[in-house]
């Protein structure tokens, strides 16, 4: 083949290769964004379920079932660091733990939150030694009714 033919082939193939590469990169980015959105929704459901456990007067069976389902779903998408922190939290709060304490609960909850924040990339500067969060429960409906 002559140089002219090679130049024509390369010149015509360039835009095709660029188009394919652009399409691939775009789909890859869209896939990563969809994955992140799904993961965030699962984390949101997990933390909402954990929060329900802290609300006085909440249906405990329903709250525990919601937590169990959310925890199981997290195991599908979360990295090992998050799953391990979640299991440590569960071991602390489960009914069969005779040695559970509020301090243990808060410590394990903070470890879980830091692990989740690391996974989603929002833990810049977080330290497990200084990170502090606790659940905020609502007062029981009976207490609210007594105030009126």
Q: Give the mean model confidence (pLDDT) for residues 21-37.
A: 83
| Segments forming the whole domain that contains residue 35 | 3-147
For 50-96, what is each residue's pLDDT tens digit?
Answer: 988 877 666 888 888 999 999 999 999 999 999 999 999 999 988 89
For 92-131, what is each residue's pLDDT tens digit?
Answer: 988 899 999 989 999 999 999 999 999 998 878 888 888 8
pTM for this model (two decimals): 0.74
- Cβ contacts of residue 36 below 8 Å, gap of 6+? 120
**Phi/psi-derived region of residue 12, left when phi > 0, alpha when psi is between -120 and 50, beta in every other case:** alpha
Whole-angstrom CA distances from 86 to 5, 18, 45, 115, 137 are: 62, 44, 13, 9, 20
pLDDT, position 142: 61
- Could you identify the residue written with the tokens 């602390």? 92
- On whether the CB atoms of residues 131 and 113 are closer than 8 A, the answer is yes
Q: Domain count for the chain, please give it.
A: 1
- Which one is predicted more confidently, 74 or 2? 74
pLDDT, position 59: 80
pLDDT range class, residue 31, cuts 50, 70, 90: confident
């Amino acid at each position: 083949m002559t140089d002219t033919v090679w130049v024509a082939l390369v010149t015509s193939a360039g835009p095709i290769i660029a188009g394919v590469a652009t399409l691939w990169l775009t789909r890859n980015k869209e896939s990563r964004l969809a994955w992140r959105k799904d993961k965030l929704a699962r984390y949101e459901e997990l933390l909402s379920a954990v929060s329900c456990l802290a609300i006085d007067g909440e249906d405990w069976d329903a709250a525990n079932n919601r937590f169990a389902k959310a925890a199981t779903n997290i195991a599908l998408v979360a990295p090992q660091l998050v799953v391990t922190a979640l299991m440590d939290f569960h071991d602390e709060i489960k009914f069969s733990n005779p040695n559970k304490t509020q301090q243990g609960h808060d410590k394990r909850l903070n470890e879980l939150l830091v692990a989740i924040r690391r996974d989603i990339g929002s833990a810049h500067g977080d330290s497990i030694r200084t990170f502090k969060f606790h659940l905020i429960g609502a007062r029981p409906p009976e207490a609210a009714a007594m105030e009126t």
